[in-house]
Amino acid sequence: MELRTTRLHVRAWDPDDADELAVAYDIYRRDEVAKWLGAKPAPWQSLEETRTRLERWAGIDRETPGYGLWAVVPDEVGRPVGTVLLVPLTDGDRNPTGEIEIGWHFHPDHWGHGYATESSAALLEHAFTTLRLPRVEAIAFAGNGPSFAVMRRLGMTHQGSTDRWYGTTFEWWSVAADEAAW
């Protein structure tokens, strides 16, 4: 899947491209990024781990077209600066829940440029118009104010704290197709 916005290209990560591998590793090796990700946050440890993860991400879109994790490439930068995702949520035992999560991860040098909101708005439009999803969820750890701000800009509503996904407690936000601010 590929999406275009006024200034962004959302497309697959290429795990065979050495430059992209280095860029992805530079994003996810950072404590200030990793601390917000996953049930057990941890920075990525190597280029090999990065390759494995990017290959797994590419498989999501192949197995379930329209879903996955994609590179966000600003036109003015010309290389990926982050990731946007649309994936099925699972419970603590990795069982599917039938709900879909939207999310984003960006290199700290590119925080505050509106890339998360712009790319996620395009992805929400895809979710609601192409995939015909009735609702999309977002989760973040307590204290992640910048992500909460993106969620508000997307028209999402805070639903409270929950431990229903991934076996840990998150702040849960949600938006229905007729409520989205895309």
**pLDDT reported for residue 44:** 96
Residue-range definition of the domain harbouring residue 164: 3-176
Distance, CA of 79 to CA of 119 (rounded, Å)? 15
Q: How far, rounded to the nearest angstrom, does the alpha carbon of residue 62 sit from its chain's CA centroid?
A: 17
93: Cα within 13 Å, side-chain hemisphere: 2
Q: How far, rounded to the nearest angstrom, does the alpha carbon of residue 76 sit from its chain's CA centroid?
A: 21
**pLDDT reported for residue 66:** 94
Asked whether residue 181 is assigned to any structural domain, the reply reads no
Q: Which residues of the chain have pLDDT under 50?
A: none
Asked whether residue 166 is assigned to any structural domain, the reply reads yes
Asked whether residue 15 is assigned to any structural domain, the reply reads yes
| CATH code assigned at 84 | 3.40.630.30
> How open is the CA angle 112-89-117, to the nearest 5 degrees?
20
Cα–Cα distances (Å) from 56 to 52, 134, 171, in that order, read: 6, 26, 26
Asked whether residue 102 is assigned to any structural domain, the reply reads yes
The mean pLDDT of the chain is 94
Asked whether residue 68 is assigned to any structural domain, the reply reads yes
| Domain count along the chain | 1
Asked whether residue 182 is assigned to any structural domain, the reply reads no
What does pTM read for this prediction?
0.93
